Amino acid sequence: MARRPTPTSQLTIEPPAPTPRAPLDPATMEIFERIMRERRSVRRFRDEPVDNAIVERVLEAGLWAPSPHGTQPWRFVVITQPANREQLADAMARSWRHNLEMDNEPAEVIEGRLAGSRRRLLEAPVLIIVCLYMADSDRYPDPVRAEAERTMAVQSLGACVENMLLAAYASGIDAGWMCAPLVCPEIVVDARDLDPALAPHGLIAMGHAAADPKRRPRRSLDTLVVWDDRT
Ligand SMILES: Cc1cc2nc3c(=O)[nH]c(=O)nc-3n(C[C@H](O)[C@H](O)[C@H](O)COP(=O)(O)O)c2cc1C
Q: Closest Cα to atom 7, ligand 1: which residue?
A: 178
The closest of 177, 175, 136 to 158, measured between CA atoms, is: 177
**Cβ-based neighbours of 97, under 8 Å, separated by 6 or more:** 110, 114
Looking at domain 53-209, its CATH class is alpha beta
pLDDT of residue 103 exceeding 80: yes
- 123 three-state secondary structure: helix
CA atoms in the 13 A half-sphere facing the CB of 167: 20
C-alpha–C-alpha distance, residues 129 and 177, integer Å? 10
C-alpha–C-alpha distance, residues 41 and 205, integer Å? 10
Assess whether the C-beta atom of 43 lies below 6 angstroms from ligand 1. yes
The predicted structure's pLDDT at residue 3: 72
Q: Where are the domains of the chain?
A: 53-209
pTM: 0.94
C-alpha–C-alpha distance, residues 113 and 118, integer Å? 9
Mean pLDDT of the chain: 93
The predicted structure's pLDDT at residue 2: 62
Q: Residue 184 is which amino acid?
A: C
The count of residues in the chain is 231
- What is the band of 88 on the pLDDT scale with cuts at 50, 70, 90? very high
Assess whether the C-beta atom of 178 lies below 6 angstroms from ligand 1. yes
Contact 130, 76 (CB under 8 A): yes
Atom of ligand 1 nearest to the CA of 40: 26
Measured over the CA atoms of residue 186, residue 192, residue 197 and residue 199, the dihedral's sign is negative
C-alpha–C-alpha distance, residues 145 and 148, integer Å? 5
CA 176 – ligand 1 centroid, Å: 7
Query: What one-character DSSP code corresponds to residue 209?
Result: B
Q: Closest Cα to atom 29, ligand 1: which residue?
A: 177
Assess whether the C-beta atom of 175 lies below 6 angstroms from ligand 1. no
CA atoms in the 13 A half-sphere facing the CB of 104: 0
Contact 198, 4 (CB under 8 A): no
pLDDT per residue as tens digits for the range 140-194: 999 999 999 999 999 999 999 999 999 999 999 999 999 999 999 999 999 999 9
CA 37 – ligand 1 centroid, Å: 15
Under the phi-then-psi rule, with left for phi > 0, alpha for psi from -120 to 50, and beta for the rest, what region is 68? beta
